[in-house]
A = this chain, B = another copy of it.
């Protein structure tokens, strides 16, 4: 045990583990593409524990990364070489919920879905709904500016975080933003959201709650081609409708979902569009015939509407389980998270299809079509030596997104996986501005180094030994 770990245990007795079992457990995250054994794991029980750990790390120049449920899909929660993991799962209290002001103050280890459950008795809910909602934490949602199917209508996590109490990388505790919708000065809370752990650790998050939706109407529309489904999305938005969610699945994704959960998706469609209208009952009733007409005009040869809540849940179950279901079709898969302008969806899908053929690898497409957020799942077999080819294909898809004026990440973050591509999306001066801000906040570079921004050593891909600095 190093003197640093001894000092850490001295400050936080009984809350620090450095045994093999603990270190092994924390060596990777939901992406499972990178691994790195940490020096130690701090199981923080209070905000003060987190501050203590960060201060000691800063003083000693030891890197750290905060971790909630570890569901990151970009490697953001993978330990830093020679660094500490600060586990926040025990910081799971809802500290306040003000139904009149519609705000809620939570610790970072609170589970996403727990917020809506706590708000439900007051007729409120928390809008961002990542597929991992039942397990992922608010702290992780803040770090990656998480989205979800319904972020089309309500925006990402950044739109729902009003204020933050944060421990900066040097151990200073600050308040960013506040409970007000109209903060004074630069939007520092917004600046922190999406910073992937590089600007410190959130200790408290003030969330905006919204009234529960009165009525949902959930539609399935079957298309003969995936591109047609993509075009339909642009047409629906252009017509002035703003559904709560618009999701697309291709044939491969539908096959996987059908095999896993029997969602009742049409067996002969090449593209499936799920559209959910939501709002006051009168609005939904008025929009329903307009939407059906648009779906028909866009080439849907079959449409279905969920007859009850059970059927609605089934439609969604297929979509939400698609990632894991794809695991049935292939020994491994890579999930990507690129964004293209909504108006170029059809074009992007055709290009991905062409790439898939060129690389000889199957790609399943499941995505938040309404905001152009693609989730291509690249199926491969590492045993058959396809891993490098799959990664190359993933890289081409990201470059395609950049070229089309989109982004390399919609909601999963840059993390480890895509940090090499950030410099392709942004110019050198843009990157330099980010690095300057990062140095101002973290002069010693201890907060999750090697993630999001390029440079510095990173953990190794699974199957290879970790690279050392």
Contact = CB atoms under 8 A, between A and B. Distances in A.
Interface extent on A, as a size class?
35 or more
A407 B178 contact: yes
A430 B240 contact: no
A168 B427 CA distance: 14
Identify the 3 closest CB pairs spanning chains A and B, nearest first.
A440-B440, A282-B286, A190-B190
A100 B346 CA distance: 14
Interface stretch (A266-274, A355-363, A409-417): A409-417
Nearest to A168: B433
A441 interface: yes
Given A101-B342, A159-B159, A181 B371 contact: yes
A114 interface: no
Most buried by B among A99, A182, A339, A408: A182
Interface in A406-457: 406-411, 413-414, 418, 422, 425-427, 429-430, 432-434, 436-437, 439-441, 452-453
Interface in A208-245: 211, 214, 234, 237-238, 240, 242
B429 A172 contact: yes
Nearest to A166: B433
Given A280-B283, A282-B283, A191 B182 contact: no
A441 B434 contact: no
Given A187-B193, A283-B279, A440-B440, A343 B100 contact: yes
A191 B191 contact: yes
Name the residue among A145, A185, A411 with the largest chain B CB count within 10 angstroms. Answer: A185
Interface string A88-110: 00000000001111100000000
Given A179-B341, A341-B179, A188 B433 contact: yes
Contact of A173 (B147, B343, B429): B429
Nearest to A341: B101
Contacts of A413: 184
Interface string A175-213: 110111111111110111111101100000000000100
Contact of A414 (B98, B184, B240, B342): B184
A158 interface: yes
Given A101-B343, A371-B182, A430 B283 contact: no
A39 to B, nearest CB: 27
A155 to B, nearest CB: 8
B185 A452 contact: yes
A234 B101 CA distance: 8
